[in-house]
């Protein structure tokens, strides 16, 4: 199994479940509180590892209790943490509210994820991999250096452009595979129509997979729609991290030699399983569960 390197964020999720979104000035009672491992990078690394990939995680945590817990969580899921460094800054956190209809709102305090160094150890981890997966919760200079290095070494680059923002055209151009949701695709392309957004983004040369939740996904290459992915049925319990599960399973399947259609179907099945469970990384399914869902 070719190795997958995930360079990304690791946060401790602080999750409140509540009846509805809070209006300005309103106080309501929540129904539960929990903590769990999160961050888009950690979520994708665990999703890929559970889906059968050989994964190494490149990240940073603080020298605190949250950092120790996140490191152990990665280890427990079989992720190589040799490139997970401990820094003076506190471990990043995400304050998450989940309403009864399964929708979520998130505020992230990056903390240690702001570490911007791309070290020789990081470069070695990338060079030893077939895929490099990144998101936008680490400094842009770090992502740029890592993606350029990966490209020079023939490593396939995968970018989840979240949280989306202006001024990242060079990062999009460095992505062999771009996996935005439809809102991110619209923001990056300037096109409100999802098909047209996918076409526009794919003209940079990479494969674009626009995820659309319960409506599946659209795949474009070289300015043309080449595939449509049907969603698997699911009852939404918590949508937090579903997109990360999609990306992690997709890359794991591709690294395992699956065709694009099969990898996309597996990713859709994995995301459907994830939204039916509470949590982010906790909700990621195993490879056996994905295979069973595929029938």
Is 287 annotated to bind ligand? no
Specify if 82 maps to a domain. yes
Residue 205 structural domain: 5-9+40-88+118-294
Q: Is 276 contained in some domain? A: yes
Q: What is the pLDDT of residues 69-93, one digit of tens each?
A: 999 999 999 999 999 999 999 999 9
pLDDT, mean of residues 112-138:
97
Per-residue pLDDT of 174-227, as tens digits, reads 999 999 999 999 999 999 999 999 999 999 879 999 999 889 999 999 999 999
Residue for token pair 């259609």: 261
CA 125 – CA 56 distance, rounded (Å)? 7
Determine whether the annotation assigns residue 277 to a binding site: yes
Q: Judge whether 16 lies within some domain.
A: no
Question: What contacts 24+ positions apart, CB below 8 Å, involve 188-191?
Answer: 188/161, 188/164
Q: Is residue 97 part of a domain?
A: no
Say if residue 266 carries a ligand binding annotation.
no
pLDDT at 128 over 70: yes
pLDDT digits (tens, 9 = 90+) for 235-287: 878 777 899 999 999 999 999 999 999 999 999 999 999 988 877 788 899 99
Question: Do the domain assignments include residue 188?
Answer: yes
Residue 95: inside a domain: no
124 is in an annotated binding site: no
- Are the C-beta atoms of residues 24 and 100 closer than 8 Å to each other? no
**Quick one: what percent of the chain has pLDDT higher than 90?**
84
Q: What is the count of structural domains for the chain?
A: 1
100 located within any domain: no
54 carries an active-site annotation: no
From 54, 77, 80, 244, the catalytic residue? 244
State pTM to two decimals. 0.92
Q: Provide the 10 A C-beta neighbour count for residue 24.
A: 4
Is 257 flagged in the annotation as binding?
Answer: no
The answer to whether position 80 is within a domain reads yes
Alpha-carbon torsion (266, 270, 271, 276), positive or negative: positive
Q: What is the CATH number of the domain that holds 131?
A: 3.40.1190.20
289, 256 in Cβ contact below 8 A? no
């Amino acid at each position: 199994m070719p190795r997958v390197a995930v360079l990304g964020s690791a946060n401790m999720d602080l999750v409140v479940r509540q009846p509805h979104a809070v209006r300005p000035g309103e106080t309501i009672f929540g129904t539960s509180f929990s903590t769990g491992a999160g961050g888009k990078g950690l979520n994708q690394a665990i999703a890929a590892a559970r889906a059968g990939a050989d994964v190494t995680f490149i990240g940073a945590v603080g020298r605190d209790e949250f950092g120790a817990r996140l490191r152990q969580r990665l280890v427990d899921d079989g992720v190589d943490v040799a490139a997970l460094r401990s820094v003076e800054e506190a471990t990043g956190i995400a304050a998450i509210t989940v309403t009864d209809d399964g929708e979520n709102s998130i505020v992230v305090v990056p903390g240690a994820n702001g570490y911007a160094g791309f070290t020789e150890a990081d470069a070695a981890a990338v060079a030893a991999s077939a895929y490099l997966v990144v998101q936008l919760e680490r400094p842009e200079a770090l992502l740029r250096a890592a993606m350029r290095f990966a490209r020079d070494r023939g490593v396939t680059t995968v970018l989840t452009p979240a949280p989306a923002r202006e001024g990242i055209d060079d990062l999009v151009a460095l992505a062999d595979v771009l996996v935005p949701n439809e809102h991110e695709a619209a923001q990056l392309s300037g096109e409100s129509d999802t098909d047209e957004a996918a076409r526009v983004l794919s003209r940079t040369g990479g494969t674009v997979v626009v995820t659309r939740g319960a409506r599946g996904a659209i795949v474009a290459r070289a300015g043309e729609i080449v595939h449509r992915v049907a969603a698997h049925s699911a009852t939404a319990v918590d949508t937090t991290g579903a997109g990360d599960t999609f990306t992690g399973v997709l890359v794991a399947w591709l690294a395992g030699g699956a065709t694009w259609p099969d990898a996309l179907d597996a990713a859709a099945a994995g995301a459907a399983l994830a939204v039916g469970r509470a949590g982010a990384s906790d909700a990621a399914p195993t490879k056996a569960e994905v295979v069973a869902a595929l029938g």
